[in-house]
């Protein structure tokens, strides 16, 4: 995940700082040299790094810090504050106009994640009660329209398309339809190119004139490193952008763009893409990102994602069932599905404090274990899921063969299930005990 290297390096600088009771100005300056290297290696722009380190050093060598009881902690806090400042203090929201519809024009280079993120945005706003319409104005890549239709269907949002005709016409007609049908939010997926060229910019400028967008959002792939900032600057100069969506932060990118975009272009990052799934998308909160970079985790985003994806009705149904009938393997499968709705195991774990110490292999084996468990439960009959104690050696062999696993895996699953059941009983749930009934099994 992004920032892994940076997190690790800053972690070791801070460990040294904290390990000393007293700090001298020379200690701070030495540490800042390492911070500077770490930031440069993470692809943060040179000028940004220079200013950042200068600010942190100036604040850190003051008497109030060096003479305090915990100088190391104070320096870390200053780094944290300055990181937040660099990324923009608070999450900036979309500029909704007083008169609907709000028109968002998405632009960006080909492959940056424009189409995917048009659908992610639409899904998020739909969940918040808006009525979005997506306009397919990326007409050069024949597959682009189909791709938009596929992701839009997943997001349950309509798409306006007219095939591969002049995108200016499509946008005009699409906006008319949005007015006729009362869509309060229109998201235009425009064409991308491999490189910025004049023809593309002219087309985008025309669309801007026709659509009068409330917000021009530039979609930038974090994996292109320093170039992300260059792309943002070029689009801003040629077209004028309002904000940035930084995508693929889940991947093995060094993440420097997240720290440089605002400082270099003056345009805030409003959202970040953390995966291919539509829910792997978050408003960009500078203070939470800083906390992730410093290895302090991001519990707030995790909680937000859980409340958005966990179906409360389902949860209540489960609680009732646990109390009356007890916990069986169907419930375990349901729970696993709920967790998966929150995103990949990897993206969830990465928000936990200390996650930067977990290796990619650990994450992948966690993901694989989850898939294996799901396959085993799917290979069981209804009766076996409801009453796992009937699973004898013969059934175990069948389940293992059906799910491509080993009997020892099935044994392990059943053991885990027993342990969970016992734990729930001890907590007073799932054993049917609360109602004075004896547990059914
Ligand atoms: P477009 O050409 O700009 O419209 O880009 P697409 O939306 O087609 O995305 C290009 C590729 O990147 C697709 O394979 C997406 O699934 C993938 N992608 C998009 N956003 C993300 C992200 O946040 N994380 C990861 N890992 N992949 C992404």
CATH of the domain at 138: 3.40.50.300
Same domain flag for 172 and 270: yes
Measured by CA distance, the residue closest to atom 27 of ligand 1 is: 276
The DSSP code for 406 is -
Contacts of 421 (CB under 8 A, 6+ apart): 326, 327, 430, 431
**Number of folded domains that form the chain:** 3
Same domain flag for 127 and 38: no
Asked if residue 441 belongs to a domain, the reply is: no
Same domain flag for 185 and 133: yes
Q: What is the pLDDT of residues 76-90, one digit of tens each?
A: 889 988 999 999 977
Q: Is the pLDDT of residue 389 over 70?
A: yes
Asked if residue 437 belongs to a domain, the reply is: no
Closest ligand 1 atom to residue 110 Cα is 2
Cβ–Cβ under 8 Å, residues 114 and 106 = yes
Cβ–Cβ under 8 Å, residues 244 and 261 = yes
Closest ligand 1 atom to residue 219 Cα is 3
Among the three residues 304, 331, 350, which one is the final residue of a domain in this structure?
Answer: 304
- Residues of each annotated binding site for GTP: 108-115, 189-193, 247-250
Per mean pLDDT, which of 84-98, 174-188, 316-330 is the most reliable?
174-188
The boundaries of the domain holding residue 400 are 310-426
Same domain flag for 249 and 124: yes
CA-nearest of 190, 81, 208 to 141 is 190
The CA–CA distances, whole Å, from 148 to 22, 137, 169, 204, 276 equal 58, 10, 18, 19, 14
Cβ–Cβ under 8 Å, residues 103 and 214 = yes
* Candidate from 144-158, 280-294, 330-344 with smallest mean pLDDT: 330-344
Asked if residue 433 belongs to a domain, the reply is: no
Task: Give the tokens for residue 230.
Answer: 């260059």
* Candidate from 110-119, 346-355, 407-416 with smallest mean pLDDT: 346-355
Separation CA 128–CA 307 (nearest Å): 13
Asked if residue 208 belongs to a domain, the reply is: yes
Contacts of 370 (CB under 8 A, 6+ apart): 336, 339, 340, 345
Identify which of 1, 105, 109, 116 to mutate to test ligand 1's pocket (most ligand atoms within 8 A of the CB).
116
Asked if residue 110 belongs to a domain, the reply is: yes
* Candidate from 6-10, 15-19, 78-82, 172-176 with smallest mean pLDDT: 15-19
Q: What is the pLDDT of residue 439?
A: 36
Contacts of 321 (CB under 8 A, 6+ apart): 331
ipTM of this complex prediction, to 2 decimal places: 0.98
Q: What is the pLDDT of residues 25-40, one digit of tens each?
A: 999 999 999 999 999 9
Ligand 1 first shell, C-beta below 6 A: 108, 110-116, 147, 192, 247-248, 250-251, 273-276
Among the three residues 87, 119, 145, which one is the final residue of a domain in this structure?
Answer: 87
Same domain flag for 124 and 158: yes
Q: Is the pLDDT of residue 201 over 60?
A: yes
Same domain flag for 364 and 276: no
Closest ligand 1 atom to residue 108 Cα is 3
Same domain flag for 282 and 405: no
The DSSP code for 93 is P
Strand partners, 246: 220, 272
Domain with 67 in it: what CATH number?
Answer: 1.20.120.140
Same domain flag for 117 and 196: yes
Cβ–Cβ under 8 Å, residues 73 and 15 = no
Asked if residue 93 belongs to a domain, the reply is: no
Verify cis geometry, omega within 30 degrees of 0, for the bond prior to 19: no
Domain with 384 in it: what CATH number?
Answer: 1.10.260.30
Residue with tokens 């272009």: 265
Among the three residues 40, 63, 87, which one is the final residue of a domain in this structure?
Answer: 87
Separation CA 396–CA 329 (nearest Å): 14
Give the burial string for 145-184 (b: 16+ CB within 10 Å, else e).
Answer: bebbbebbeebebbbbbbeeeebeebbeebbeebeeeebb
Asked if residue 143 belongs to a domain, the reply is: yes
Q: What is the pLDDT of residue 336?
A: 75
Q: What is the pLDDT of residue 440?
A: 37
- pTM here? 0.74
* Candidate from 46-55, 132-141, 238-247, 321-330 with smallest mean pLDDT: 321-330
Say how many Å lie between the CA of residue 275 and the centre of ligand 1: 8
Asked if residue 70 belongs to a domain, the reply is: yes
Same domain flag for 289 and 319: no
Separation CA 48–CA 51 (nearest Å): 5
Task: Give the tokens for residue 81.
Answer: 């504050």
Same domain flag for 251 and 374: no
The DSSP code for 92 is P
Same domain flag for 333 and 391: yes
Same domain flag for 118 and 61: no
Say how many Å lie between the CA of residue 113 and the centre of ligand 1: 4
CA-nearest of 71, 73, 63, 60 to 22 is 71
H or E segment at 330?
helix 329-341
């Amino acid at each position: 995940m992004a920032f892994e290297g940076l997190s690790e390096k800053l972690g070791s600088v801070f460990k040294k700082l904290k390990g000393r009771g007293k700090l001298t100005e020379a200690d701070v300056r030495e540490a800042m040299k390492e911070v500077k290297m770490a930031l440069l290696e993470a692809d943060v722009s040179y000028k940004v790094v220079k200013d950042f380190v200068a600010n942190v050093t100036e604040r850190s060598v003051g008497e109030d810090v060096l003479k305090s009881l915990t100088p190391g902690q104070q320096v870390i806090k200053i780094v944290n504050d300055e990181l937040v400042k660099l990324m923009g203090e608070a999450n900036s929201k979309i500029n909704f106009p007083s008169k609907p519809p709000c028109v968002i024009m998405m632009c960006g280079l080909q492959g940056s994640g424009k189409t995917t993120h048009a659908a992610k945005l639409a899904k998020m706003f739909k969940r918040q009660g808006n009525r979005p319409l997506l306009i397919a104005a990326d007409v050069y890549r024949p597959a682009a329209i189909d791709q938009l239709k596929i992701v839009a269907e997943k997001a349950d949002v309509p798409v306006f398309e007219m095939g591969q005709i002049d995108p200016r016409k499509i946008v005009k007609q699409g906006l008319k339809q949005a007015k006729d049908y009362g869509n309060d939010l229109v998201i235009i997926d425009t064409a991308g190119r491999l490189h910025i060229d004049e023809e593309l910019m002219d087309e985008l400028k025309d669309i801007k004139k026709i659509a009068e967008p409330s917000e021009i959002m530039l979609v930038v792939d974090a994996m292109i490193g320093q170039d992300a900032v260059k792309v943002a600057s070029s689009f801003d100069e040629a077209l004028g952008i309002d904000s940035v969506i930084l995508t693929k932060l889940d991947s093995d990118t060094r993440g420097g763009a997240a720290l440089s975009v605002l400082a270099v272009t003056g345009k805030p990052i409003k959202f970040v893409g953390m995966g291919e799934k539509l829910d792997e998308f978050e408003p960009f909160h500078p203070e939470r990102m800083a906390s992730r970079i410093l290895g302090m985790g991001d519990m707030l985003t995790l909680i937000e994602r859980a409340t958005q994806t966990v179906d409360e009705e389902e949860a209540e149904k489960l609680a009732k069932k646990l109390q009356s009938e007890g916990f069986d393997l169907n419930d375990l499968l349901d729970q696993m599905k709920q967790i998966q709705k929150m995103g990949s195991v990897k993206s969830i774990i990465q928000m936990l404090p200390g996650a930067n110490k977990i290796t990619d292999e650990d994450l992948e084996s966690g993901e694989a274990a989850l898939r294996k468990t799901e396959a085993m439960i799917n290979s069981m009959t209804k009766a076996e899921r409801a009453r796992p104690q009937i699973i004898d050696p013969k059934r175990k062999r069948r389940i293992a063969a059906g799910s491509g696993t080993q009997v020892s895996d099935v044994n392990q699953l059943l053991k885990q299930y027993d342990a969970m059941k016992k734990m729930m009983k001890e907590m007073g749930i799932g054993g049917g005990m609360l109602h004075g009934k004896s547990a059914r099994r």
